[in-house]
Amino acid sequence: MKKAAIDEAQLLKEFEEKIEAEVKIEPRDWMPDAYREHLIRQISQHAHSEVIGMQPEGNWITRAPSLRAKKILLAKIQDEGGHGLYLYSAAETLGVSRDQFLQWLHEGKAKYSSVFNYPTLNWADIGAIGWLVDGAAITNQVSLQRTSYGPYSRAMIRICKEESFHQRQGYEIMWKMMEGTKDQQRMAQDAIDRWWWPALMMFGPHDTDSPHTSNAMKWKIKRESNDRLREKFINKTVPQAELIGLKVPDDQLKVVGKDQMGEPMYAHGDIDWDEFWRVVKGDGPCNKQRLDHHINAHENGKWVRECAYAYQIKTNNQ
């Protein structure tokens, strides 16, 4: 496409008018380089998170306490793999290949959500992940359904339809444990004690410290700020904890008012930002294990890709 002298300022103006009018941007439309780059980073990070997130839960498939629990966990983890694939497909529409995304992940150039660098120590952690980690992810993803990039928005709509089962199955695990023995109640409380803060960290830095927020909001890639989404999650989740007798591990948590629906709104303590940045920069409990496992799985699967390709050539079944 070598159309001479297309005025870039005019294209940018038309692009921003579409954004203003809530018209979705599609892969073949003109877009500013910075918009494309932001999407490539954000969608691939989102895809990697879905796939790496299969590991901490996969740790408990063989030790699920019942066949029912095992089938549910398998279905949930399969969904996460599917969500990764929706998102890789959306990211590829921006002109980057699937292999390139994996290479950036393996080289440490692309990130995934830090929450998956924490270990799952016992069965209660599976409940806490579904309820808190998926709950935080849903809060973010519901907002992203309205993102300005068409393929990303469509992937988010599909994912949100599937996610609410994830959160409910996690909350059910926690509830059942709180109805159980003293030991089970202690396990459930221990799980929320360890997962509450990492779940809040999933929303990212404060808006004032978030390097990518301003363009992302201007171009409607993100629709709500990190802090706003974090507050929504806290307001929704604290009453759920209290209902089943769990204590949220935040001494500064208190009701400060009611929203329009009459639901409580909370003031809360601040995240340990030193820990946040330490884990983001690679020094969390499981960073190395998660990445090594992904690299090994990819390399060990190479012969399958080679066989499939050889079969395609041999049968000319394309």
Partner 1 sequence: MQSTENQGKLWEVFIQAKPGQPFKHAGSIHAYDKEMAIENARDVYTRRNEGIALWVVPSDAIVAVTASEASSFFTPAHDKVYRHPTFYDLPDGVKQM
Binding site for partner 1 (CB under 8 A): 1, 3, 26, 28-30, 75, 78-79, 82, 85-86, 89-90, 92, 97-99, 154-155, 158, 162, 302, 305-306, 308-309, 311-313, 315, 317-318
Place of tokens 């890639």: 221
Q: Are 290 and 296 in contact (CB under 8 A)?
A: no
Least CB distance to partner 1 at residue 194 (A): 31
Tell me the β-bridge partners of 267: 254
Q: Which is nearer to partner 1, 300 or 318 (CB)?
A: 318
Q: Which is nearer to partner 1, 63 or 98 (CB)?
A: 98
Least CB distance to partner 1 at residue 99 (A): 5
Q: Which is nearer to partner 1, 97 or 122 (CB)?
A: 97
Place of tokens 């949930």: 76
Q: Which is nearer to partner 1, 252 or 316 (CB)?
A: 316
Q: Which is nearer to partner 1, 1 or 67 (CB)?
A: 1
Q: Which is nearer to partner 1, 151 or 284 (CB)?
A: 151
Least CB distance to partner 1 at residue 58 (A): 17
Cα 144 off chain centre by = 11
Least CB distance to partner 1 at residue 30 (A): 7
Q: What is the 3-state secondary structure (H, E, C) of the chain?
A: CCCCCCCHHHHHHHHHHHHHCCCCECCCCCCCHHHHHHHHHHHHHHHHHHHHCHHHHHCCHHHCCCHHHHHHHHHHHHHHHHHHHHHHHHHHCCCCCHHHHHHHHHCCCCCCCHHHHCCCCCHHHHHHHHHHHHHHHHHHHHHHCCCCEHHHHHHHHHHHHHHHHHHHHHHHHHHHHHCCCHHHHHHHHHHHHHHHHHHHHCCCCCHHHCCCHHHHHHCCCCCCCHHHHHHHHHHHHHHHHHHCCCCCCCCCCEEEEECCCCCEEEECCCCCHHHHHHHHCCCCCCHHHHHHHHHHHHHHCHHHHHHHHHHHHHHCCC
Least CB distance to partner 1 at residue 136 (A): 23
The amino acid that residue 164 corresponds to is S
Least CB distance to partner 1 at residue 33 (A): 16
Least CB distance to partner 1 at residue 317 (A): 4
Alpha-carbon dihedral 127, 145, 81, 99, rounded to 10 degrees = -140
Q: Which is nearer to partner 1, 260 or 315 (CB)?
A: 315
Least CB distance to partner 1 at residue 265 (A): 35
Q: Which is nearer to partner 1, 84 or 130 (CB)?
A: 84
